[in-house]
A and B are shown apart, each in its own frame.
Chain A
Amino acid sequence: MSELTIKHALSDDGSILKISVSGKLAIDTAEDLKNLLVEKSGMSNSIQIDLSELKELDIIGIQLICSACHTNLNLKKHFNFTGSMGQNVKAAVAVAGLGGKINCKYNYDLPCIWSGGIN
C-alpha cells in the first residue's frame, strides 16, 4: 500500500480524539498527518493514535509522531498510543535507534511512550 489513510473521531463521551493511521507514513505522505494533527489536536485534551494498520514508516514519519507527542505533552495534554505495531514498523523503529531504550525528556525522562511504551 502506498497511500496514507487517516481516520479520526472523538470517543463516545467526547473526551478522546482517536486517530488511526494506515498505509504509508513517509516523506511523501507525512504532511497530511501533520496538518490533521495541527488542526484537530485542539478538539480534545487526550489524543490517542493507532498505528496498528501502518505498513510503512520512514524517518520523517517517526519524527512527525515524535513531534506530535512532544507538542501535546508540552501542552499538558494526554498523548497516547493504542494497538500493536506491525513487524515492518517495529523493524523501522528499531533500525532508527529507538528500540525501547530511549528516555524522553518531554516525558519526565521516562522511556519513550511510543517506542518504549505499550507497543
Chain B
Amino acid sequence: MSSPQEQHIATYREEAGELLAELETSLLDLEENPQDSDLINRVFRAMHTIKGSGAMFGFDDIASFTHEVETVFDQVRNGKMQVTRALLDLTLQARDQITVMLAASAGGPPADTGRGQHIIEGLRELLPAVVHAKTTPVSELVKASETDSHNRTYRVRFRPIPEIMTTGTNPLNLLKELQELGTCETIAHFDAIPLLDQLIAEHCFIYWDIVLTTSSGIEAIKDVFIFVEDDCDLKIDLIDDGSVLDSDSSYKKLGDILVERGDLSPVEMHKIVSMQKRFGEILVEQGIVPASKVQSALVEQQQIRQVRQERTTAAPAAEAALSIRVPAERLDHLVNLVGELVTVQAHLTQIAGNRNDNEIISVAEEVERLISELRDTTLNMRMLPIGSTFSKFKRLVRDLSAELGKEIDLETTGAETELDKTVIEKLNDPLVHLIRNSIDHGIEIPDVRRAAGKPVKGIVRLAAEHSGDSVLVTIRDDGAGLDKERIRAKGIERGLITATSELSDKDIYNLIFAPGFSTAQKVTSVSGRGVGMDVVKKAIEALRGTIDINSTPGKGSLITLRIPLTLAIIETLLVRIDQSYFVMPLTMVEECIELTRADVQAAHGRHLAHVRGELTPYISLRSEFEITQNQPDIEQIVILSVAGKRIGFVVDDVVGEHQTVIKSLGKLYRDVRGISGATILGDGTVALILDPGLLMHSVLQVEQEQFG
C-alpha cells in the first residue's frame, strides 16, 4: 500500500493528464473562437490548477514552467493581449512540454530543458513590455492564487459625496456591478436625507452598507469604485476570509459589529449589554443607533453565519464527492472476478437443472439474475466516452494539415458515446492511421480543391454512435475518394488479383488492406509506405470489430468501424460438434436451419444451401476442425451476417444462448486464424470463440490457393 503522499502524487499525475487534455481541446477551440472569454478562462484555469497543485506536491519544475504560460494567459484574460496563432502554437508546445515533464516524473525519458527554455522565451517575447519586466516568484503566485478560489466576505461602506450624480456617476450602476461579484446584501441608509424644503434635488444623500461574499478578491471590489475614488468615502473590510473551516458557524455579536463599523462606541455598548433586553431594540428605542444601521449589522451577521454554515456543510460533501477515482487495474480485477462468477453461475444452473430440485433451481435463477445485474454494472463502470480520444485528433489534424499545406477542419459528433476503456485505448492507433490517411491521401491541396469547385477547406468528420452491442465509428472526408483504377492496377501488379478478375467496388477497396499495399506516388513522412491499412485491419479485428470502406470519386471516402462495446463478456450462441463446443457472437447470427444428407447430395458436394430462395454458401466446421466422428444425419447451419454477406457455419447441434466470459488464448495459439479466444462452460468444458470473419477469409484463401 502506498503512502498518502504517494497516492496524492499519483492523483496529481492523473488529474494533470486530464487537465492537459482539456487544455489542448480548449486551445484548439480558441483558435476557432479567439474572443471566447470562457475558453480563455478555461485555458487559464487548467494551467493555474496544474501549477498550483504541482507546487503543492513537489513538481516544482512543472509549476515554474506552467507559471510562465499562465502569466501570458493572464494578460489575455485581462484583455491586454490578443489570442494569436503564435501564442496558440507556443502554448500547445508548452502543453506538450508539460506532458513530457509529467511523464519524466513518473520514470519516463527526461524532458528537454532547452526546448522548455525556448518555449518560455518565445512566450516572454509575446508579452507586453510592462509585464515582461515585472516578474513575481512562482511561490508567491501559487500562494496568492490558492486563496483566490475561496469565497471571502467583505463589508463595504460606500458613502458618495452629495454631488456625485452631477459628475455623471450613477451609484445604482456601481451597486449593480458590485452585486454581480457574488452574494450581496445591500442596505441603504436614508437618515441623511433632508426634509423636502432643505433637499437639493440633484444631490445624493443616501449611503450604503454592502455585505459581499465573493471569490473575486478585494481588487475586483476596488475596481468597481475606481472612477469614484475621489468622490466617495469608501471603506472595505474583510470580515470572513473563507479559509477557516470552523464547526461553529457563529459570527460576531451585533454590538461588536456596530462598534467595529464605528456606528456605536464601546462605552455605549457595555451600557446596553447590562440591560436585560434585545440589544438592537434598545439601541433603536434609545435613539443611539438608527434602525437602518442596526438592520444593516444584522444583515451582515446573518450573511456571515449563512456563508459559514454552507461552508461547514459543503466541506464534507465535497470530500465525499460525487465520484471517486479508482485505479484501472482494480476495475480490471473486478471484471475478472465477475467473469469467474458468471462461469460458476453457469455451473450452478447446470447442476440445479440436473438435480431437478425446485428449491435449488429457484436459488440458481435468483443468483443468475443478480449476477447478470452485477455484470452489467461492472462493465458499465469501465465505460468511458470516446470523446477523450476524439479531442486528441483535433491536434493531429491541425498539425498535420499545416505540415502538408492543406486546410482541414475536423468535425466530431457522438463524443459522448461510451465504450469499454480497453477498447478505447486500442482504438487510438487505428484511428490515427485512418485520419492520417484521410488528410494525406483524401483531402486535396487547396489549389486542386479550388479547381474542382470545392471549398478550399477540407473536412474530416469523425463520428461515433451506438448500434446494438457495438459502436459505429466513422471517418468521412470530402476529399478525392479512392482511385479504383489505380488500386486495381496495383493489385494486379502485386499479384493480389488477376487482370481478368471481376471485382465489385468493395472488393477493389478491400485490396488496400493487403500487407504493404500502397498507391501513393511519393512517400511522405505521413504515409505512403504501405504500412498502415493492414495493421489497422488487424487491430480492428483484434477488437472483434470490422472495417468497411465506401468511396465516391471526387466526393470523398467513408470508413466505418464496427467495434464491440466490451472485450470482457459477450452474448454468444453455443454450438456443438461431436464433443467440442464453440461459441459465435450472437449479434451476427441471423437464423438456424437444418442440413440433411439429402440436401448435401442435392448440391452435388458444393457448400451451398437454398435458404428462402437464395443460395447461401456455408462452411462445415467439422471439416475445418477435422472432426470426423459421430457425424449426425441432420446437421444445423447457423447463418451469420459477416461483413454484409450471409454465410452459414455447419454444426451438429445448436445448444443455445450463452454469456461468454472471454479468455485469451496462450501465445502458442496467437496466430490461429478464425479463433479469437476461449471460454469456460458451466461444467468446466472449454469452448472456443469463433471469429466468423477471419474463418470465412481463411477458407476463401485456402480455396484460392487450391483452385487459383
Q: Chain A: residues with CB nearer than 8 A to chain B?
A: 27, 30-31, 34, 37-38, 41, 58-60, 62-64, 66-68, 70-71, 74, 92, 95-99, 101-105, 109
Contact = CB atoms under 8 A, between A and B. Distances in A.
Contacts of A63: 190, 193, 199, 204-206
Given A59-B170, A95-B186, 15 more contacts: A30-B201, A31-B201, A58-B165, A60-B165, A60-B203, A63-B190, A67-B193, A67-B199, A71-B197, A96-B172, A96-B186, A97-B175, A99-B186, A104-B292, A105-B284
B196 A37 contact: yes
Given A97-B175, A103-B291, A58 B195 contact: no
A71 B190 contact: no
A74 B208 CA distance: 24
B644 interface: no
A38 B202 contact: no
B202 A102 contact: no
A27 to B, nearest CB: 5
B295 interface: yes
Interface of B: 165-166, 170-172, 175-176, 179, 186-188, 190-191, 193-197, 199, 201-206, 208, 210, 284, 290-292, 295, 299
A34 B194 CA distance: 12
A99 B196 CA distance: 23
A104 B190 contact: yes
Given A95-B179, A101-B295, A102-B295, A66 B202 contact: no
Nearest to B281: A109
Contacts of B201: 27, 30-31, 34, 60, 64
A109 B191 CA distance: 12
CB-based closest 10 A-B pairs: A97-B186, A97-B188, A71-B196, A103-B291, A30-B201, A71-B195, A31-B201, A109-B291, A34-B201, A67-B199
A37 B199 CA distance: 12
Q: Which of A96, A99, A104 has the most CB of B within 10 A?
A: A96
A68 B193 CA distance: 10
Secondary structure type dominating chain B contacts: mixed
Nearest to B190: A66
A59 to B, nearest CB: 5
A98 B188 CA distance: 6
A97 B190 CA distance: 11
B190 A58 contact: no
A102 B205 CA distance: 16
A59 B291 contact: no
Contacts of A68: 196
A67 B192 CA distance: 10
Nearest to A108: B291
B206 A64 contact: no
B204 A67 contact: no
A34 B196 contact: yes
Q: Which of A67, A98, A103 has the most CB of B within 10 A?
A: A67
Contact of B195 (A67, A95, A97): A67
A102 B290 contact: no
A14 B175 CA distance: 42
A65 B186 CA distance: 19
19 contacts: A27-B165, A34-B196, A34-B201, A38-B196, A38-B197, A58-B165, A63-B199, A64-B201, A66-B206, A67-B196, A67-B199, A71-B196, A71-B197, A95-B172, A96-B175, A101-B299, A104-B292, A105-B191, A109-B291
B294 to A, nearest CB: 8
A25 to B, nearest CB: 10
Contacts of A109: 284, 291
Q: Which of A66, A92, A95 has the most CB of B within 10 A?
A: A95
A59 B204 contact: yes
A78 to B, nearest CB: 16
A91 to B, nearest CB: 9
A62 B194 contact: no
Nearest to B294: A103
Given A58-B172, A97-B175, A97-B187, A64 B295 contact: no
B205 A58 contact: no
Contacts of B190: 63, 66, 70, 102, 104
Contacts of A96: 172, 175, 186, 188, 206
B188 A102 contact: yes
Contact of A60 (B195, B204, B208, B210): B204
A34 B199 contact: yes
B187 to A, nearest CB: 5
A64 B201 CA distance: 7
Contacts of B199: 34, 63-64, 67
Contacts of A105: 191, 284, 290-292
Nearest to B295: A103
B202 A60 contact: yes
B154 to A, nearest CB: 16
Given A38-B196, A64-B199, A104 B291 contact: yes
Nearest to A110: B291
A105 B285 CA distance: 10
Contacts of B295: 101-103
